[in-house]
Amino acid sequence: MSNRKIVVALGGNAILSSDPSAGAQQKALEDTARHLVKLVKNGDNLIITHGNGPQVGNLLLQQIAADSKKNPALPLDTLVAMTEGSIGFWLQSAMQNALREKGIEKGVVSVVTQVIVDKDDPAFENLSKPIGPFYTEEEARAESEKTHATFKEDAGRGWRKVVASPKPVDIQEIDAIRTLSDNNQIVIAAGGGGIPVVKDDQGNLHGVEAVIDKDFASQRLAELVDADLFIVLTGVDYVYVNFNKPDQEKLDRVTVPQLEEYIAQDQFAPGSMLPKVQAAIAFVNGRPEGKAVITSLENLGALIESDSGTTIEKG
């Protein structure tokens, strides 16, 4: 039994593939939970984070049906909180069922997590976080004219609405997360990157309209709970250089200086693999013995058995 403290960040495909219905997302999370239970069986202590880009973007679209008096539209920080609640509920119950199936006694709890950001973060002026559905360039242009929202191309996959994405500075509920994790609870926290909040001069918190990148929030959480390992689960078993080219090469074990060199060569797409690599580097640099792994959910068994996946170490 390994007894490590692991922060696991769940990528988009762990929750939503092509069907955005609640039923399909719950089904995907049931499969995800069965994979995650392999780590619990291995004796590891899990703190799970997840994305919310597609879900919070869809909720934002649903606000169009609002009317200003009887059914007012809700602000983006509240929509992020709603996705923490809905995805937290699906994942929490999926984990509880998967643990029961395996006869493992362990609690699972979701924490509505506020993540403090800097009110002067330049990201409020430079919208970069893609959310919601994909559009063609033509559709995006028409939407932008109609709604005055900003749309950008998302890592070669189509056009999406973009919103502000400030960097996470601190996590308001960190003591509660730590206490729960130290007391036999699997904790789901900082979902959707956490609810972005700013602190005023009196120390009061106020929500701000933004969506924090879940890879960066997960890294900050992993650092604050002194995790032994930070695992980023995404759609590929390995990080590659020359990704999708005939000479693509998987990165098995890689050091921070090597990764920095690859970043300088633009090997990782901004908005998809780049934030994961940057978050992994930040975690490894911030911990004396820290190790990060980027791999797929399906590869978790092989990661436990034989360290499969891209492992990032200080070097």
Ligand X SMILES: Nc1ncnc2c1ncn2[C@@H]1O[C@H](COP(=O)(O)OP(=O)(O)O)[C@@H](O)[C@H]1O
Ligand Y SMILES: NC(=O)OP(=O)(O)O
Q: Is 213 in the site for ligand Y (CB under 6 A)?
A: yes
Q: What, of ligand X, ligand Y, none, does residue 211 touch, CB below 5 to 8 Å by kind? A: ligand Y
Which helix (DSSP H) or strand (DSSP E) does residue 177 occupy?
A: helix 174-182
- CA within 13 Å, CB half, 195: 22
d(CA 311, CA 239): 9
Active site residue 214: yes
Position among 25, 32, 165, 234 found at the interface with ligand X (CB under 6 A): 234
Active-site annotation holds for 199: no
* Closest to 185 measured CA to CA, from 256, 292, 260, 104: 104
The nearer residue to ligand X, 74 or 269, going by C-beta atoms, is 269
Under rule CB under 6 A, residue 189 binds ligand Y = no
220 contact, one of ligand X, ligand Y, none, CB 5-8 Å limit per kind: none
Residue whose C-alpha is closest to residue 112's, from 40, 171, 42: 171
CB of 273 to ligand X, least distance (A): 4
42 has catalytic annotation: no
Query: Do 310 and 251 meet the contact criterion of CB atoms below 8 Å apart?
Result: yes
Instruction: State the helix-helix crossing angle for 214-224 and 273-286, rounded to 10 degrees.
Output: 10
In the complex, least distance from residue 184 CB atom to ligand X, rounded to whole angstroms:
28
Residues 12-41 that bind ligand X (CB under 6 A): 12-13
Chosen from ligand X, ligand Y, none, partner binding at 36 (C-beta under 5 to 8 Å by type) = none
- Contact of 155 with 269, CB cutoff 8 Å: yes
Q: Please give the C-alpha separations between residue 239 and each of 187, 248, 283, in angstroms, as whole numbers.
A: 27, 10, 17
Among candidate residues 51, 132, 192, 214, the one labeled active-site is: 214
How many CB atoms sit inside 10 A of residue 18's CB?
5
154 touches ligand Y by CB under 6 A: no
Establish if 124 lies at the interface with ligand X (CB under 6 A).
no
Residue 214 or 220 with smaller CB distance to ligand Y: 214
* By CB under 6 A, residue 192 contacts ligand Y: yes
Residue 194: name the closest of 169, 162, 163, 229 by CA.
169
Which residue of the chain is nearest ligand Y when measured via CB? 51
Using the rule CB under 6 A, which residue among 214, 220, 276, 287 binds ligand Y? 214
Question: d(Cα 32, Cα 175) in Å, to the nearest integer?
Answer: 27
Which of 92, 114, 272, 311 is the binder for ligand X (CB under 6 A)? 272
Q: Enumerate binding residues for ligand Y (CB under 6 A).
A: 12, 51-53, 192-193, 211, 213-214
Active-site residue set: 12-13, 129, 214, 276
